[in-house]
Amino acid sequence: MDVRNFALLCADHHKQAPDIADAEAFWAWIDYAELRDSGSKWLRASEKVKLWVKASGGRTEPIGRGEMEFLAAMQFELRHLYGWTDEDFSAVSWEFMEEYHRVLDVATGRHFAVEKKVATHAWAYHVARLRVVAR
């Protein structure tokens, strides 16, 4: 019963959105998903409208992500939402993995009995990396 837990999402984005108590991070993911998927909202638009959008600097084609396996999808989110680089991925250690599981267990939950999603795991990885680097 918290207004921060009220977001109107389509069915696809509801399935993808992270289930986290961190409202700021959740809304950052919403902004990211809007930019990532903005092309898909023009699929049924007329060619005239699509040309106008493109002439105005917009994009009318969806980004082709296709079906990704779980780890590839999580890496995609970490790269595009949190700015992770190859160096960040190569610096993963056991200390990082322990912190990741600590964050995942304490700061996330199951939403309507659904397993944790790619976006939830990506957020926990990012928070864990920030904590380990800060030590």
In the structure encoding, which two tokens stand for residue 121, read together?
């795991």
With a cut of 80, say whether residue 24 has pLDDT above it. yes
Q: What does the mean pLDDT of the chain come to? A: 80
Q: What percent of the chain has pLDDT over 90?
A: 4
With a cut of 80, say whether residue 3 has pLDDT above it. no
* The pLDDT of residue 110: 67
108 C-beta neighbours (distance < 10 Å), count: 20
Could you state, in order of their start, the residue ranges of all structural domains in the chain?
A: 3-38+65-134
- Asked whether the whole model's pTM tops 0.85, one would answer no
pLDDT digits (tens, 9 = 90+) for 38-92: 777 777 888 998 899 889 887 787 766 666 677 788 888 888 888 999 988 887 7
